[in-house]
Amino acid sequence: MKAVYKKYAPLFVVAILGAVIGGGLVMGYGPFFIGKSVPDALTQIKQEVASPTANAQLSAARNTPIVRAAQIVGPSVVGITNKAYVSDFFNRRMLVERGSGSGVIYDAAGHIVTNYHVVAEAEEIVVSLADGRTVPGKVQGVDPATDLAVVKIDPAGTQPAKFGDSDSLQVGEPAIAIGNPLGLELKGSVTAGVISALNRTLDIGERRFRLIQTDAAINPGNSGGALANADGEVVGINSIKIAVGGVEGIGFAIPINTARPIIQALIEKGRVARPYLGVVAFDKNMAEKYGYELNIKKGLYVFRLVLNSPADRAGIRVGDIILKLAGQETNSLPELRSVIEAQGVGATIPVTVSRNGEQFDVQVKLSEVPNE
């Protein structure tokens, strides 16, 4: 079924969707680089911008919480390069860079949390550490549904980040984003702003995301990097920015409290077990978009059933209208997904259905989604 995007979706380059692909995004910043190749221009940047030293004697005015947070978190932020084999004109296979992003060292065992899209379809992973070393990485597990992934490296000489409590964040407190915007040439870049909003709900396709909103600059290549508080604790994994003309300072991060159980599942099992209902359903607006006319005011019209799915086994049929799941109204696919995933695999829930004008409940036992 095609993904359906609500009003926010046309505004996004889901950085989520935006690892730097082959340097092409860098080349779009034309006026600054006139007369220079991209690598030359970035080399010039590195030469002209002095690297701050942790041992520098700073006045109280300069030694701000942002400076201290960057010094604490910076060594735990890494660059991740995604490589894959391609065939040239002569059918020779070559290993090329597909894109790059960021990651955060999660624990002393060498697990790194990043975004799924940073490592998607990688045949080789190279991790660039803050101390300048590059080491091979292996994808331990991925969760496309939340755009999270875990990469494993040799932990020798690494420094895990300190993770905070994203539920304790306050709107207006400082937010520090650390990552590799536009690729590894600008690795370890720090941008600062504030927590602009909490529990920001965005519907992207069939998924509903509850995210931290910040005005700290999050650019392509920052994906998978750290969003930290002023105490130097990682409170989010940078993921999304709005990319539309005239809009600046709107970025989003996955709250670390949301990410933690997913990260643990990826470390332990390599995947996240999720329940599913097994229906392809439309709400009224979706149906109109695809050229169907539905005479319903609320609920979801069952357009297709997955054979032997929980819905099929419970007696739900094509043409039924799903009004409620577990007592909650479901008028959109993100609402349906949210209710189902809150129940867990193996849960039995009542589903309120309307069929030929008659309303009734069926009991559905949710099972794990097959090969998501």
Which is the catalytic residue, given 76, 102, 111, 117? 117
Contact 128, 78 (CB under 8 A): yes
pLDDT at 338: 82
Q: For residue 323, which of 356, 359, 348, 295 has the smallest C-alpha distance?
A: 359
Q: For 347-359, write each residue's pLDDT tens digit.
A: 999 999 999 889 9
pLDDT band of residue 154 (cuts 50, 70, 90) is: very high
Which is the catalytic residue, given 196, 223, 332, 338? 223
Q: What residue ranges define each of the domains in the chain, with the CATH number in brackets? A: 1-41+62-153+161-272 (2.40.10.120), 275-368 (2.30.42.10)
Residue listed under structure tokens 């030929």: 356
Of 37-41, 95-99, 137-141, where does mean pLDDT reach its minimum? 37-41
Tell me, yes or no, if 102 is annotated catalytic.
Answer: no
Q: For 252-287, write each residue's pLDDT tens digit.
A: 999 999 999 999 999 999 988 888 899 888 887 777
pLDDT at 86: 86
- The one-letter amino acid at 284: K
- The one-letter amino acid at 45: I
Question: Exposed, middle or buried, 182 (CB in 10 Å: 0-12/13-18/19+)?
Answer: buried
Which is the catalytic residue, given 100, 128, 143, 147? 147
Of 2-6, 42-46, 221-225, 358-362, where does mean pLDDT reach its minimum? 2-6
Contact 247, 228 (CB under 8 A): no
Residue 288 has pLDDT above 80, yes or no: no
Higher local confidence (pLDDT), 31 or 118: 118
Q: For 300-342, write each residue's pLDDT tens digit.
A: 989 889 899 999 999 999 999 999 999 999 888 888 888 888 8
Token pair for 111:
């697990």
As a whole number of angstroms, the distance between CA 316 and CA 356 comes to 13
Secondary structure of the chain in the HEC alphabet? CCCCCCCCHHHEECECECCECCCHHHHCCCHHHCCCCHHHHHHHHHHHCCCCCCCCCCCCCCCCHHHHHHHHHHHHEEEEEEEEEEECCCCCEEEEEEEEEEEEECCCCCEEEECHHHHCCCCEEEEECCCCCEEEEEEEEEECCCCEEEEECCCCCCCCCCECCHHHCCCCCEEEEEECCCCHHHCCEEEEEEEEEEEEEEEECCEEEEEEEECCCCCCCCCCCEEECCCCCEEEEEEEEECCCCCCCCEEEEEHHHHHHHHHHHHHHCCCCCEECCEEEECHHHHHHCCCCCCCCCCEEEEEECCCCHHHHHCCCCCCEEEEECCEECCCHHHHHHHHHHHCCCCEEEEEEEECCEEEEEEEECEECCCC
Paired with 13 in beta bridges are: 241
Average pLDDT, the chain: 80
Q: For residue 211, which of 115, 266, 146, 149 has the smallest C-alpha distance?
A: 146
How much is the average pLDDT of 200-220? Answer: 78
Statement: the pTM of the whole predicted model exceeds 0.75: no
Tell me, yes or no, if 223 is annotated catalytic.
Answer: yes
Tell me, yes or no, if 117 is annotated catalytic.
Answer: yes
Higher local confidence (pLDDT), 299 or 15: 299
Q: For residue 137, which of 46, 224, 20 has the smallest C-alpha distance?
A: 224
As a whole number of angstroms, the distance between CA 225 and CA 120 comes to 16
